Homo-oligomer: A and B are copies of this chain.
Amino acid sequence: MALRTYRVVDNDRTGPYSTLTLQGEVAASEPGQFYMLRGDWGADPLLGRPISILGEDVEDGTVRFLVKEVGEGTRRLCALEPGAAVFGLGPLGRPFPLPPPGAAPVALAGGGVGVPPMIYLAGRLSAKGLPFRFFQGARTAADLLCLEELAGAGTEPVLATEDGSLGLRGLVTEPLAGRLGEFSAVYACGPEGMLKAVQALCAGRVPSYLSLEARMGCGYGVCLGCVVPVERNGRRTYERVCAEGPVFEGEAVRWA
């Protein structure tokens, strides 16, 4: 694997979000994996930014990302014009483990920039004929993401907004709680509050897989900058979000 140069072939901007399509040498990935992305700028900002894969077409050599502008690195990524160069290292990290064939449906819960990997996962599950239900939460209707992709994913998504402007009013974990018994596993990616709620909800009832965020130095396991506390067999250690994660079993995650 090596850092590769990609070209922006499309940048679809809506508010603070950009859906970037990059073209170049694309290695096959699994949902939940990410790239470290960086534009052709100087040493400020210096490091790549971890961004989840939204989708890809290995034959075409295209890979897609949905980036939210929250700081300088994402501001620059979101501002890239078609034709611009992007340096990418990926796919990185351990993906979501797929449910075994024949398992009961799984729940996918996404919020904010946690939605893109769940969209990728939903597509993969559909392609494999594995049943799932997609839950998405956001503050307002305007913050719900990828609604078209979701509409095309086969199953009706469950939407929740805090202000009730679309779907149910409240947190996305509420409808999930009510239907938890239907699912053989819960996959989640989103803000820490949501992940904690999912973890609590599932604890002792159903396996959960949480995709965590952390500030990253390298993205491939060598700097030890991205660790989170986990507990396995009663032993607490630090594990790397970029290498042992970003997907962790909910039972193991201990939060910083």
Contacts and interface: CB of A to CB of B under 8 A. Distances in A.
Interface of A: 41-45, 72, 81
Copies of this chain, complex-wide, total: 2
A75 to B, nearest CB: 10
Contact of A72 (B42, B45, B72, B81): B42
Contact of A44 (B43, B72, B81): B43
- Which secondary structure dominates where chain A touches chain B? loop
Contacts of A42: 41-42, 44-45, 72
A45 B72 CA distance: 16
A87 to B, nearest CB: 16
Nearest to A46: B44
A129 B45 CA distance: 52
A44 B42 CA distance: 5
A43 B42 CA distance: 8
Contacts of A72: 42
A36 B41 CA distance: 20
A43 B44 CA distance: 6
A42 B40 CA distance: 12
A45 to B, nearest CB: 6
A216 to B, nearest CB: 19
A138 B178 CA distance: 79
10 contacts: A41-B41, A41-B42, A41-B44, A42-B42, A42-B44, A42-B45, A42-B72, A43-B44, A44-B44, A81-B81
Given A41-B44, A42-B42, A81-B81, 7 more contacts: A41-B41, A41-B42, A42-B44, A42-B45, A42-B72, A43-B44, A44-B44
A134 to B, nearest CB: 38
A41 B43 CA distance: 10
A82 B42 CA distance: 21
